[in-house]
């Protein structure tokens, strides 16, 4: 009983998505919803991987293309292309992937560090990898995808520039 409870506590669930023949895992607690691909409104002055924004029930949510984010070529969007809406640190954003595939349980001791090479992806967006049967799943670090740190720093700088010291 207690053994069972402990293994439960150490496990986390990941939603796996397909991208350029690789399988990636996103922490399921960060996933808000999965929706089919719909066109978005482009935002000027944005990195190329930010496709634009969409209307998520009244909230304006940026959408990034994971292929472009990882420096891969962009495929045409088809019926299986989906937008996964992720919430990190109170911010929502959408991630466009080729398809969603599965929900997997990963015990924390099954998490392996990412070797420095051998994947098509820059390792800084990964927090580890694991194997399910003979499949390898790369686990994404959702925090880093939109680089909210950058966004916040930029915002802080802008605010500082515009911040007007209150009239004494």
Partner 1 sequence: MSTISVAQFHKVFFEESLEGLDAMEAALLALDEGGDAELVHSIFRAAHSIKGGAATFGFPEMAAFTHEAESLLDQVRDGRRSIDKTIVELMLRTVDCLRGMFDRAQAGQPLADADSENLKQQLAAAVGHDVPAATVKAAAKPAASNGWIIQFRPHAGMLAGGNDPLRLLRELAALGQLVVEAQLDRVPTLDALDPTECHLGWRIELTGAVSRDAIAAVFEWVEDECDLSIEPRVAVAPPSAPVVEAVAAPAGAGVTAGVTRNTTSSNDAGSVRVGIDKIDSLIDLVGELVITQAMLDQFREEFDPARLSMLQEGLAHLARHTRTLQESVMGIRMLPIGSVFNRFPRLVRDLSQKLGKQVKLEMVGEHTELDKTVLEKIGDPLVHLVRNAIDHGLEMPEKRRAAGKSDVGTLRLEAFHRGGSIVVEIVDDGAGLNREAIIAKALQKGLIKSGDDISDEAVGDLIFQPGFSTAAVTTDLSGRGVGMDVVRRNVVDLGGNVAIKSRAGMGTTFTITLPLTLAIIDGLSAAVGDECYIVPLVSIVESIQLPADAVRSVTGGGELFRFRGEYLPIVRLHQQFGCANARQNIEDGLVIVVEADGSQVGLYVDELIGQQQAVVKSLEANYRRVEGISGATILADGSVALIIDIAGLIRLQGRRKAA
Q: How far is the CB of 145 from partner 1 (least distance, A)?
A: 13
Give me the 54-93 binding string for partner 1, x by CB under 8 A, dash otherwise. xx--xxxxx----------------------------xxx
Q: Is 158 in the site for partner 1 (CB under 8 A)?
A: yes
Q: Is 99 in the site for partner 1 (CB under 8 A)?
A: no
Residue corresponding to tokens 């495929």: 75
Give 34 or 52: the residue with its C-beta nearer to partner 1: 52
Check: CB of residue 121 under 8 Å from CB of residue 70: yes
C-alpha distance across the termini of the chain, in Å: 65
Angle, alpha carbons 22-28-34 (nearest 5°): 75
Region of 161 please: left (phi>0), alpha (psi -120 to 50) or beta: alpha
Q: How far is the CB of 34 from partner 1 (least distance, A)?
A: 17
CA-to-CA dists, residue 126 to 41, 143, 155, angstroms: 28, 10, 25
Stretch that binds partner 1, among 3-11, 45-53, 73-81, 115-123 (CB under 8 A): 45-53
Binding residues for partner 1, per CB under 8 A?
39-46, 50, 52-55, 58-62, 91-93, 146, 151, 154-155, 158, 162, 164-168
């Amino acid at each position: 009983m207690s053994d069972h409870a402990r293994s439960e506590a150490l496990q986390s669930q990941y939603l796996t998505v397909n991208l350029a023949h690789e399988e990636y895992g996103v922490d399921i607690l960060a996933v808000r919803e999965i929706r089919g691909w719909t066109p978005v409104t482009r935002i000027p002055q944005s990195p190329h991987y930010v496709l634009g924004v969409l209307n998520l029930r009244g909230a304006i949510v940026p959408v990034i293309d994971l292929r472009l984010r990882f420096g891969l070529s962009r495929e045409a969007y088809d019926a299986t292309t989906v937008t996964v809406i992720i919430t990190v640190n109170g911010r929502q954003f959408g991630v466009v992937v080729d398809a969603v595939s599965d929900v997997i349980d990963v015990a924390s001791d099954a998490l392996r560090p990412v070797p420095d090479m051998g994947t098509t992806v820059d390792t800084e967006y990964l927090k580890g990898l694991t194997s399910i049967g003979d499949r390898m799943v790369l686990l994404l670090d959702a925090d880093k995808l939109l680089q909210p740190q950058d966004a916040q720093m930029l915002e802080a700088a802008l605010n500082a520039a515009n911040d007007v010291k209150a009239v004494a």
